[in-house]
Amino acid sequence: DQQVKQNSPSLSVQEGRISILNCDYTNSMFDYFLWYKKYPAEGPTFLISISSIKDKNEDGRFTVFLNKSAKHLSLHIVPSQPGDSAVYFCAARRNNNDMRFGAGTRLTVKP
Amino acid sequence: KAGVTQTPRYLIKTRGQQVTLSCSPISGHRSVSWYQQTPGQGLQFLFEYFSETQRNKGNFPGRFSGRQFSNSRSEMNVSTLELGDSALYLCASSPTGLNEKLFFGSGTQLSVL
């Protein structure tokens, strides 16, 4: 069962513009959400997280927004840079249960 | 601090064989999780171990098994390999496994011929 969904397999943006990656989840018990970034031939690396008690968390160029009523979160990257080109995974978990991942969105930032 | 180490990096096996993958977590991390990554499927959760006990399990057949040792190192075993088992297997560790980020290794790329 796909409890975490990333419906856009790919996204292409121009350098300097905003990248918005979206994620939907079905399990209302999730209370911790994360974004990971993955380059080819490497493991995913943690980017940013948000607890369900918040609706926004910011870290430099990266901001994650959480809309609990819509069961939706998004990652904003501003400004986008060519080095941001990678696959981005959305993840969610609750308490000590396993972390569930989406299928990923491939972001391409064009110079 | 050394990161999560997975060995081997690449593996080629034939159908019907069995394989064992190894993972050394970050020092001090007691939770180890295993994931399977295939194109278009994202990361599928296999299982999680904490203090040598399997704490969570995903929806994979019994051919997939794992264990964790007292030093938190973990192994994953796949028996009677099938072509569909070809994937990148990722190991991740965290201090307690409770609402915290996971630290991933670079993975083991398994090809089943």
Q: Give B22-46 as a 3 state SS string.
A: EEECCCCCCEEEEEEEECCCEEEEE
- pLDDT band of residue B98 (cuts 50, 70, 90) is confident
What pLDDT was estimated at residue B74? 98
B72 to chain A, minimum CA–CA distance in Å? 17
Mean of the pLDDT values across residues A20-24?
A: 98
Which residues in chain A have their CB less than 8 angstroms from residue B99's CB? Answer: 31-32, 51, 93-96
* Residues of B with Cβ-Cβ distance to A93 under 8 angstroms: 99
Give A108 to chain B, closest Cα distance, Å: 17
Are B67 and B50 in contact by the 8 Å Cβ rule? The answer is no
- Give yes or no for a contact between B112 and B85, defined as CB atoms under 8 angstroms apart: yes
Q: What is the pLDDT of residues B11-26, one digit of tens each?
A: 999 999 999 999 999 9
pLDDT at residue B1, rounded to an integer: 66
CB atoms within 10 A of CB B106: 16
Distance in Å, alpha carbon of B64 to nearest chain A alpha carbon: 17
DSSP E strand boundaries for A26-60: 32-38, 45-51, 56-59
Percent of chain B exceeding pLDDT 90 equals 84
Contact B104 A103 (CB under 8 A): no
pLDDT at B2: 79
A53-108: per-residue pLDDT in tens? 999 999 999 999 999 999 999 999 999 999 999 999 999 988 767 789 999 999 99
- C-alpha closest to that of A73 among A25, A13, A1, A19: A25
Amino acid at B64: F
Would you tell me how many other CB atoms lie within 10 Å of the CB of residue A54? 13
If you average pLDDT over residues A3-18, what whole number do you get? Answer: 95
Tell me the mean pLDDT in the region A7-28. Answer: 96
DSSP per position, B69-102: -TTS-EEEEE-S--GGG-EEEEEEEESSSSSS--
Write the burial class of residue B13 (CB in 10 Å: 0-12 exposed, 13-18 middle, 19+ buried).
middle
- Single out the residue of B113, B41, B107 nearest to residue B81, CA to CA: B113
CA distances from A62 to A2, A13, A59, A74 (A): 26, 15, 5, 10
Q: What is the largest CA-CA distance in chain A?
A: 42
- What pLDDT does B97 receive? 77
Please check whether residue A71 touches B, CB under 8 A.
no
Task: Specify the pLDDT at position A88.
Answer: 97
One-letter amino acid for residue B21 of the chain: L
Tell me the average pLDDT of chain B.
Answer: 93
Cα(B39)–Cα(A61) distance, rounded to whole angstroms? 28
pLDDT at A14: 98
**Average pLDDT of span B100-105:** 91
**pLDDT tens-digit series, residues B32-71:** 999 999 877 789 999 999 999 999 899 999 999 999 999 9
